[in-house]
Each structure stands twice: as structure tokens, then as C-alpha cells.
Amino acid sequence: MTSLEFRPHCHGDPTHCAEVVLYCNGKRPKLSRVEPRSFEPSRGEAKSAVNTFSSMSQVPERITGPIHIGQVCSTWGNFHFKTFDGDVFQLHSSCNYILTSSCRSSYTDFNIQIRRQVAGSHPTIKSIIMKLDGSVVELSKGSVIVDGKLAILPFNQAGVLIEKTHTYIKIKAKLGLVAIWNEEDSFLVELDLKYKNQTCGLCGDFNGVQLYNEFYSHGTLLLTLTSQSV
């Protein structure tokens, strides 16, 4: 996998980051907000979510997206996303996006980028690139590369632990981040509470308020936003 440039570093302005996050080939992608109460995933999506997060303690009977405990952002199934603040939306795009990044200081603790694809008729995650306090982890189906070198798992170096089970890959960073990928369609990121109101990207600003200013810049919405029931 070819490494992608980590941009932008936001320079203390999350909206500056969001402008790059939410433009694809010079156009605003269409983001469809899903009302959580009406969102009922397909059987296949529910199965993928349970498979990915079976190691976690809470899996709700009626899945409104993968589990959330107020510190988790996730993407799964048919291009669904759920922010740290619990907002659910769909973004049908195969462009590379910043899923989440630390944005409130000149130094970026972490930056996670994701690219989705449709393989046949099944939406999957093609690649994930994670900058974790200086280390770069690149994930794709059957491959884990750290700082340009193929990693042998389990991997534990420079504050980054990567483990693999028969159902998922888990990445834990000492800086206060845990990520889990099922090597198919589902991926989650859990952050330490010290990053509240410190993030930008598709996962939102982690301020506890749904759709506060996640996708706005200087009062202008950066994409087409519609509401729908699934």
C-alpha cells in the first residue's frame, strides 16, 4: 500500500481540517443523516457489527450501529458512520477521508484515514492509515505495515500494540486510543476522555453535542446534508 500524505494538521482550527476532510475530487459529497430511532440495519450489517465487537461488553439488542459508550466512533455496513457524539449518517464514497484526528494543537497526536470500496456488491474497507504519535500503521486485507515495513503480529513497539485474532485486528496506542477492524466492513475507534472537544474528521468534534459544528466552516455547511430513515 502506498502511504498517503497526512494533511492537514489543522493548526489549531478544526474547521480548517474539515474543509479537506469533506471534499472529494473538488466536490461536496452527499451525506445522509440517519435518525437513530428509525435506523434498523440489515441482517448482514448487524451480523458484521456483532462479529467485530463481540469482545466488547455491551452489544445492544437493537443495534443502532456498533456500540457506543460516548468515547467510540465507528463505521460499518453500507457506508454507515457514527460519530463520537452519537450521530448516525451515510457517506457513499470511495475517496480517502480523515476519520478522526487531534486538531486543537500544532502537534497532531493521531490522524486516522480510511478508504471504503464496493467489492462486488459488498461494501468493505479497502485501507486504513493511522498516524499514532510518530508511528505510521497501514492496514489492508491481510497486511499490516508499520513505518514502511511489514509487521509480524503481535507487534509492540514505540507505544503501539497490534494484535490479531481470528475475527479482528486490534490496535492500541499508549497515547489513549484503541481501534478494532474486522478486516471487512467494520472499524471502530475509542479515545481517552482527554481528547474531548479536541478532534475533527468524520467522527466529529467529540464535544457531546450531535451535529454541533462537525461539518461547518465559518457558518457554512461543507457538504450536502439530508435526513432519512433506513
Interval 161-203: pLDDT, tens: 999 999 999 999 999 999 999 999 999 999 999 999 999 888 9
Mind listing the pLDDT tens digit for each residue in 135-154?
A: 999 999 999 999 999 999 99
If pLDDT is split at 50, 70 and 90, which confidence band does 27 have? low
Buried b (16+ CB within 10 A) or exposed e, 151-163: beeeeeeeebebe
- The domain locations on the chain are 10-223
**pTM for this structure?**
0.76
Task: Kindly state the DSSP code that residue 79 receives in the 8-state scheme.
Answer: T
* Average pLDDT in the chain: 75
Give Cα 179 to chain centroid, integer Å. Answer: 9
| Cell numbers that stand for 173 in this block | 496506542
Cα-trace Rg, the chain: 16
Q: Phi and psi (nearest 5°) for 171?
A: -120, 125
The secondary structure element, H or E, covering residue 128 is strand 122-132
Task: Kindly state the DSSP code that residue 77 receives in the 8-state scheme.
Answer: T
State residue 230's pLDDT score.
Answer: 38
Locus of grid cell 490522524 = 111
State residue 215's pLDDT score.
Answer: 62
